[in-house]
């Protein structure tokens, strides 16, 4: 008989009987939802042919000699279009229809009015087979034939658009089940057509096939009462819609007439059903923990800056009267946990009934920002040419750099710096701040340590200056007043006077100093006798003498007689001019012969003033 559009499908979990090695395993049932093959993931566009052969004795093919392909929900270029599968062309099921992520198509292409017939061949004969077709709408028609080993049609079913359970993006299910327990179905043929123009394709999901007993479980309605607080207080109750006597078992050994199984803990259960003819079927039913940890989401903020600053916020819709803990010991009503170190945690939630729920979460570690000095160049010669180059590794994203708390910059280079102490900082996109100190010295300071002077003498007016300098960068050059700079540090032929000395290095750094070169206070000579009327012109007047290399200014020159009377006076004359001397007269009349006293006030080139006095004898 044909079971048209079966609502409840058989589910086979790992460990249950299956076709294995081509052998017939009694009461074996298989469900294929195309979410994985033999535990391996599938992908959009994957060709399906003999992947199920080794385990289930099943191969897939299309009647045109090609093979069907897997389509993924949401990929707009595969499978189906239309309002139900997304008006934008994406193959999205209708609301409330869950087909997982993958399903089987003929070729995944929207084209034509027909699709090649899909053929399922079985090595082992089946008692029952069922499945679902996706998106039967407009004027589409699908025909299913269950065939025997010779290709003869055993059972047939036709589903047309508009039938109950069809529609845009809907899952339309069908099923075949032979009478009794003996299976003779060796192949299934599925063919679809469409009368009006439009995109068309064949989509199949939730294939189920059994050796026997599918008719038994298809006529049962299970009612599952979930456990509460993770206790063994769940139950499964089966309602028999056919009415023929059935017995039930939860371990496949001990059967009972009661369709009720109580005191069940959370887990997956297989219920075995046997009719009066000894045919068996089975169904897999989960018993869940009711009122799960209702957290909508755990908002986890991981650590930053390699600090213990992670946090957890529990988004819970039933937060009233709940308490929370992340160590299982200390509980709080607040849904926020802060200052968390990196590591694995388990959130424990205790609700108002005292039920405990657990949710693991992880606080990820973070990198500590690193900052180091890549290169450092000291200031030279007070030229504000120091430089610091940083090498920073932010913990997250890009970083900015600052100097002494100043404005941030993207460049890690700070230049035009003077000598001194600096605090350099880096801040990244997680607001992690790391700082480092640096000190710039002033290198290459040019210093004039000494000026060695060889003074002029009374015998030579020319002295010399030797400049002793240290520091600087490169070769030094020396300058004196406006003279051109020279490589020698010695200046010759230096006369008395004030001088400015400058020393420069190859970088233009300069040091200056000044020097006064004094003139010597040379001896003053005076005769002790002179004769105005003698023939010796060198001794015809009384005057003072000194070296001709230096000038001596006669500020005043006075002659006194022996009674102290001033008889001659001269002033403001150079010692080198003869007109300042006394010619031996007084008021134009030759003075008396004898001894006279003189007094002279002198000023040397050095600025020194001196008073000389003594006796002079006048003779004729």
Which of the listed residues 410, 443, 476 is the one where a domain comes to its end?
A: 443
Instruction: Say if residues 507 and 444 touch (Cβ distance below 8 Å).
Output: yes
Phi, psi torsion values for 538, nearest 5 degrees? -70, -15
Which long-range contacts does 10-15 make (Cβ < 8 Å, 24+ apart)? 10/130, 10/208, 10/210, 10/214, 10/217, 10/282, 10/283, 10/284, 11/283, 11/284, 12/284, 13/268, 13/270, 13/284
The whole-number pLDDT of residue 4 equals 29
Q: Is residue 522 part of a domain?
A: no
Rounded-to-integer distance, Cα 504 and Cα 485, Å: 9
106-124 burial, b at 16+ Cβ within 10 Å, e below that, comes to bbbebeeeebbbbbbbbeb
Which CATH number characterizes residue 106's domain? 2.60.120
Work out how many domains the chain is built from and give that number.
6
Q: For residue 302, count CB atoms less than 10 angstroms from its CB and return exposed for 0-12, middle for 13-18, buried for 19 or more.
A: middle
The whole-number pLDDT of residue 607 equals 86
Can you give the residue range of the structural domain that contains 166? Answer: 2-216
> 3-state secondary structure string, 9-66?
CCCCCCCCCCCECCECCCCCEEEECCCEECCEECCCCCECCCCCHHHHCEEEEECCCC
Q: Which residues, in sequence order, are bridge partners of residue 102? A: 72
The whole-number pLDDT of residue 26 equals 34
In this structure, are 105 and 58 located in the same domain?
A: yes
In this structure, are 182 and 241 located in the same domain?
A: no
In this structure, are 33 and 150 located in the same domain?
A: yes
Which of the listed residues 495, 517, 539 is the one where a domain comes to its end?
A: 517
Angle, CA of 598, 604 and 606, to the nearest 5°: 155
Rounded-to-integer distance, Cα 371 and Cα 363, Å: 25
Instruction: Say if residues 515 and 498 touch (Cβ distance below 8 Å).
Output: yes
Half-sphere exposure for 469 (CA within 13 Å, toward CB) = 31
Instruction: Say if residues 136 and 99 touch (Cβ distance below 8 Å).
Output: no
Half-sphere exposure for 255 (CA within 13 Å, toward CB) = 15
Q: Sign of the CA dihedral 543, 546, 547, 548?
A: negative
74-104 burial, b at 16+ Cβ within 10 Å, e below that, comes to eeeebbbbbebbbeeebbbbeeeeebebbbb
Q: Which residues contact 400 (CB under 8 A, 6 or more apart)?
A: 408, 409, 410, 426, 427
In this structure, the number of other CB atoms found within 10 A of the CB of residue 549 comes to: 17
Coil vs helix vs strand at 217 = helix
Which structure tokens are listed for 161?
């658009």
Rounded-to-integer distance, Cα 472 and Cα 506, Å: 8
In this structure, are 77 and 209 located in the same domain?
A: yes
Closest CA to 128 of 107, 109, 106, 154: 154
Q: Is residue 52 part of a domain?
A: yes
Which structure tokens are listed for 463?
């002295």
Coil vs helix vs strand at 216 = helix
Which CATH number characterizes residue 269's domain? 2.60.40.10
In this structure, are 337 and 386 located in the same domain?
A: no
Instruction: Say if residues 395 and 304 touch (Cβ distance below 8 Å).
Output: yes
The whole-number pLDDT of residue 609 equals 92
In this structure, are 181 and 103 located in the same domain?
A: yes
Look at strands 529-530 and 413-417 and give their pairing.
unpaired
Which of the listed residues 341, 363, 385 is the one where a domain comes to its end?
A: 363
Q: Is residue 524 part of a domain?
A: no
Rounded-to-integer distance, Cα 333 and Cα 324, Å: 6
In this structure, are 31 and 175 located in the same domain?
A: yes
In this structure, are 129 and 262 located in the same domain?
A: no
In this structure, are 211 and 224 located in the same domain?
A: no
Beta strands in 250-385 (DSSP E): 255-256, 260-264, 267-275, 280-287, 289-290, 297-301, 310-315, 323-325, 336-340, 343-350, 356-363, 370-377, 379-380
In this structure, are 539 and 421 located in the same domain?
A: no
In this structure, are 506 and 590 located in the same domain?
A: no
Closest CA to 71 of 12, 115, 10: 115
The whole-number pLDDT of residue 379 equals 86
The full DSSP string for 173-204 is EEEEE-SSS---EEEEEEEEEESSSS----EE
- Positions in the chain whose pLDDT score sits under 70: 1-28, 75-91, 109-111, 179-183, 211-216, 218, 230, 242-243, 277, 287-296, 318-319, 578-579
Rounded-to-integer distance, Cα 580 and Cα 557, Å: 8
Rounded-to-integer distance, Cα 174 and Cα 157, Å: 8
The whole-number pLDDT of residue 33 equals 92
In this structure, are 254 and 348 located in the same domain?
A: no
In this structure, the number of other CB atoms found within 10 A of the CB of residue 236 comes to: 21
Closest CA to 155 of 117, 134, 194, 126: 126
To which H or E segment does residue 422 belong? strand 420-428
Which CATH number characterizes residue 304's domain? 2.60.40
For the chain, the maximum distance between any two Cα atoms, rounded to a whole number of angstroms, is 185
The whole-number pLDDT of residue 256 equals 94
Instruction: Say if residues 246 and 274 touch (Cβ distance below 8 Å).
Output: yes
Q: Which residues, in sequence order, are bridge partners of residue 114? A: 193
> 3-state secondary structure string, 564-582?
CCEEEEECCEECCCHHHCE
Which structure tokens are listed for 582?
């006394």
Q: Is residue 500 part of a domain?
A: yes
């Amino acid at each position: 008989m044909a079971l048209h559009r079966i609502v409840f499908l058989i589910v086979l979990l790992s460990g249950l009987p299956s076709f294995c090695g081509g052998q017939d395993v009694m009461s074996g049932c298989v469900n294929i939802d195309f979410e994985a093959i033999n535990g391996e993931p599938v992908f959009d566009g994957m060709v399906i042919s003999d992947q199920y052969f080794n385990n289930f004795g099943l191969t897939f093919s299309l009647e045109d000699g090609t093979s069907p392909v897997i389509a993924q929900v949401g990929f707009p270029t595969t499978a189906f279009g239309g309002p139900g599968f997304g008006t934008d062309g994406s193959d999205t099921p209708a609301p409330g229809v869950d087909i997982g992520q993958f399903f089987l198509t003929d070729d995944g292409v929207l084209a034509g009015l027909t699709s090649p017939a899909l053929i399922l061949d079985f090595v082992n004969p089946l008692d029952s087979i069922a499945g679902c077709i996706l998106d039967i709408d407009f004027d589409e028609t699908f025909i299913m034939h269950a065939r025997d080993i010779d290709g003869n049609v055993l059972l047939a079913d036709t589903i047309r658009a508009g039938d109950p359970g069809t529609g845009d993006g809907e899952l339309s299910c069908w099923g075949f089940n032979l009478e009794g327990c003996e299976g003779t179905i060796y192949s299934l043929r599925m063919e679809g057509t469409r009368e009006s123009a439009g995109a068309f394709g064949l989509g199949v999901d939730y294939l189920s096939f059994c050796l026997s007993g599918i008719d038994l479980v298809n006529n049962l309605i299970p009612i599952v009462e979930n456990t509460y607080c993770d206790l063994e207080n769940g139950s499964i109750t089966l309602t028999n819609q056919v009415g023929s006597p059935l017995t039930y078992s939860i371990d496949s050994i001990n059967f009972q007439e009661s369709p009720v199984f109580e005191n069940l803990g959370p887990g997956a259960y297989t219920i075995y059903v046997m009719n009066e003819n000894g045919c068996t079927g089975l169904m897999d039913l989960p018993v869940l923990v009711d009122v799960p940890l209702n957290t909508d989401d755990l908002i986890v903020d991981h650590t930053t800056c390699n600090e213990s600053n992670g946090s957890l916020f529990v988004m819970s819709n039933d937060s009233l009267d709940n308490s929370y803990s992340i160590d299982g010991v200390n509980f709080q009503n607040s849904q926020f946990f802060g200052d968390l170190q990196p590591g694995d945690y388990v959130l424990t939630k205790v609700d108002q009934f005292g039920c405990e729920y657990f949710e693991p979460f992880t606080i990820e570690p973070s990198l500590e920002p690193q900052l180091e000095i890549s290169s450092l160049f000291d200031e030279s010669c007070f030229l504000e040419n120091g430089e610091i180059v940083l090498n920073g590794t932010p913990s997250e994203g890009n970083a900015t750099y600052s100097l002494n708390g100043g404005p941030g910059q993207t460049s890690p280079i700070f230049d035009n710096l003077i000598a001194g102490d600096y605090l350099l900082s880096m801040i990244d996109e997680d607001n992690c701040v790391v700082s480092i100190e640096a000190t710039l010295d002033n290198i290459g300071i040019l210093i004039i340590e000494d000026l060695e002077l060889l003074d002029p003498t009374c015998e030579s007016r020319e002295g010399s200056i030797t400049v002793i300098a240290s520091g600087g960068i490169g070769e030094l050059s020396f300058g004196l007043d406006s003279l051109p700079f020279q490589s020698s540090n010695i200046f010759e032929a230096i006369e008395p006077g004030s001088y400015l000395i400058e020393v420069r290095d190859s970088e233009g750094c300069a040091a200056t100093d000044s020097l006064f070169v004094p003139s010597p206070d040379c001896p003053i000579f005076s005769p002790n006798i002179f004769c105005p009327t003698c023939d010796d012109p060198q001794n015809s007047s009384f005057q003072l003498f000194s070296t001709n290399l230096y000038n001596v200014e006669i500020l005043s020159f006075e002659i006194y007689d022996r009674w102290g009377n001033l008889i001659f006076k001269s002033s403001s004359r150079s010692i080198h001019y003869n007109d300042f001397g006394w010619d031996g007269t007084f008021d134009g009349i030759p003075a008396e012969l004898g001894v006279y006293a003189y007094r002279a006030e002198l000023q040397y080139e050095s600025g020194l003033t001196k008073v000389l006095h003594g006796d002079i004898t006048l003779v004729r």
